Amino acid sequence: MMTVNDGLYLGFDLSTQQIKVIAIDEKLEPVFQANVEFDVDTPEYKTRKGVYTNKALKEVYAPVAMWIKAFDILLGKMKDGGLDFSKVRSISGAGQQHGSVYWSYGAEEVLEKLDPSQALEPQLAKAFSHEMSPNWQDHSTASECDFLEEQLGGPEKFAEITGSKTHHRFTGPQILRVRHRHPDDYKNTARISLVSSFFASILLGSIAPFDVSDVCGMNLWDIPNEKFDEKIISLVAGGEGKEKDELLRKLGPVEPDGGKNLGCISDYYVKRYGFAKDCIITPVTGDNPSTILALPLRPLDVIVSLGTSTTLLVSTPVYKTSPTYHMFSHPTTRGLYMGMLCYCNGSLAREKVRDDINEIKPPSAEDPWSSFNEAAMASPILGTETEGEMKLGVYFPLPEIIPDCQAGTWRFTSDASGLHETDKGWDLPSADARAILESQNLSMRLRAGPLLSSTGQPRRVYVVGGGSRNPAICKLTGQVLGPTEGVYRLELGGNACALGSAYKALWAVMRTKTDGEIESFEDFLGKRWDESTMIVKVDEGYREGVWEKYGKALKPFDEAEKYAVNY
Ligand code: XUL
């Protein structure tokens, strides 16, 4: 039970389809959770899965005003749910990465003078020079990416400086597209925020700086030198003189300390909801950086988030770049980096195979995955018992980011004579169940290996998100990635992102200072985190012989992916 003096710490998650909040106490205990789903709770915006899509232009974007309306509704739910706002000591949060928000001249004044007798949305709806925020699923910036990469000297060079090669969804190419296609909107933009710093801004009542980690998702930030790259900024701005200065002004500063007190919450929330005047706002980061804060992640540990998309996250002291993955500065800890793989074809691809199998073998009433799981477990490793042979598949019902590939499904047999595209000998659709899980895990192993130990083997894999409840998925993750200590599911995994932010809000207030050294987030969380209640072991991980067998599949799998890319 909470006592009267206990403080609360809030973590928000402004993601693609919903906004969530979690409140924790000083013992890390979650005491309140609520969410607002855009399609359902703000139906007047008519979004589908939180976004608008223009297929012809490959554009995906979301109305900023909808997020604000949803935040109004969420605050109402928090109030109705009995959350005592006066106990909240600090707030942090996370936003879907890469999306940009364009503030008009005059927005800062609107933010400063928010009227507590009104909701936020009607007051802020006019504070934007460009009403839509390009979404991370957008694929409209191929020419901008090509242009930037050519000018800078190729994908390796881009990755070396900004942590990633250019990507359609990254903010720099998106800003360049807005400048080209909506020059007046660009001109009328006083400041550009990421979704994360936008959210911090409406909490603060003034425009917040970028977060140290989320800024690395822009393709603009020189990670090793901790500054915006002048050449890339000039290319995006359209000139090296006043154009570059203008863009730098629009971008504003980057806050290097993830636990910084950015200021107290806007008076608006004090008067309208009863927040304490001294409740502080700390930097809001990206959803993936926030997820790694949901547990004391050690080097060689991996988080695999099994949601709509699949993301693999590692914390590493080594800044080693490659066009095949992303590096970000760590959201709290200087000298550490977050390595990330981000796939479009996560649960949707698995569900497609599941549905094909269910058509011929209906699942049990309780579990729509029962036939799929049975099929996956009944198939031999790599689809065959024959020594020297393997069956491999590539399953991309949606165009894929890793590798950059059109939509399609390809099946192969590999033997001494090489790799052959064929589904001869495949027991379809059952054989796809194991093959898709192997395929998704082999792709992660191929790319995450170099970020891990010399053997490419993780210590632990933590699974979060919807797929982490499926035992067959967890088992294949254990077999293919082979973590030495096993696979663990994070309880509350569905809320890992918001939880990571709430932990960060707590750390920001409670971290100690010894001889001028600030207590690191890892030490702080490690002391308070009780493994026995937070995680459950869901697979043993490394099995002698099995991991090695999958190791032999990496080369033919790489060839199979290249075949799909060049198809
Ligand atoms: C990461 C990415 C997605 C979004 C989803 O690069 O694009 O994971 O952050 O919210």
Residue 138 near ligand 1, beta carbon < 6 Å: no
401: confidence class by pLDDT, cuts 50, 70, 90: confident
494: confidence class by pLDDT, cuts 50, 70, 90: confident
Tell me the CA–centroid distance for residue 529 and ligand 1, in Å.
27
* pLDDT-above-70 percentage for the chain: 99
Rounded to the nearest 10 degrees, the angle between the axes of helix 471-481 and helix 430-448 is 40
21: confidence class by pLDDT, cuts 50, 70, 90: very high
pLDDT value of position 466: 85
Q: Which two tokens stand for residue 505?
A: 């809000």
Give Cα separations from 47 to 17, 95, 483 (angstroms).
9, 18, 40
Residue 354 near ligand 1, beta carbon < 6 Å: no
Tell me the CA–centroid distance for residue 96 and ligand 1, in Å.
6
Residue 137 near ligand 1, beta carbon < 6 Å: no
Tell me the CA–centroid distance for residue 137 and ligand 1, in Å.
8
Residue 136 near ligand 1, beta carbon < 6 Å: yes
Close Cβ partners of 251 (under 8 Å, ≥ 6 residues apart): 191, 192, 210, 220, 228, 233
pLDDT value of position 332: 97
3: confidence class by pLDDT, cuts 50, 70, 90: very low
* Ligand 1 atom 7, closest CA: 136
81: confidence class by pLDDT, cuts 50, 70, 90: very high
- Cis check for the bond before 296: say yes or no (omega within 30 of 0): no
Please, what CATH class does the domain formed by 4-283 belong to? alpha beta
Residue 95 CA, closest ligand 1 atom number: 10
Element (H, E) at 349: helix 347-360
Question: What is the model's pTM?
Answer: 0.91
Element (H, E) at 291: helix 287-291
394 forms beta bridges with: 410
Residue 288 near ligand 1, beta carbon < 6 Å: yes
pLDDT value of position 2: 43
Average pLDDT estimate for 265-289:
98
Contact (Cβ atoms closer than 8 angstroms) between residue 97 and residue 136: yes
Average pLDDT estimate for 384-398:
95
pLDDT in tens, 346-359: 998 999 999 999 99
pLDDT value of position 6: 82
Distance (Å, rounded) from C-alpha 426 to C-alpha 79? 56
pLDDT value of position 451: 83
How much is the mean pLDDT over the chain? 95
Average pLDDT estimate for 225-244:
98
Residue 97 CA, closest ligand 1 atom number: 9
At residue 557, does pLDDT exceed 60? yes
Burial group, residue 359, by CB count within 10 angstroms (0-12, 13-18, 19+)? exposed
CA 313-315-320 angle, 5° bins: 95
Residue 168 near ligand 1, beta carbon < 6 Å: no
Average pLDDT estimate for 176-197:
98
pLDDT in tens, 94-113: 999 999 999 999 999 999 99
pLDDT value of position 4: 40
Residue 311 near ligand 1, beta carbon < 6 Å: yes
At residue 309, does pLDDT exceed 90? no
Residue 98 near ligand 1, beta carbon < 6 Å: yes
pLDDT in tens, 503-520: 999 999 999 989 889 999
Tell me the CA–centroid distance for residue 549 and ligand 1, in Å.
32
Element (H, E) at 395: strand 390-396
At residue 164, does pLDDT exceed 60? yes
Distance (Å, rounded) from C-alpha 384 to C-alpha 518? 55
Average pLDDT estimate for 435-453:
93
Tell me the CA–centroid distance for residue 286 and ligand 1, in Å.
8
At residue 167, does pLDDT exceed 90? yes
Tell me the CA–centroid distance for residue 102 and ligand 1, in Å.
19
At residue 1, does pLDDT exceed 60? no
pLDDT value of position 492: 76
Tell me the CA–centroid distance for residue 287 and ligand 1, in Å.
7
pLDDT value of position 285: 98
Residue 214 near ligand 1, beta carbon < 6 Å: no
At residue 263, does pLDDT exceed 60? yes
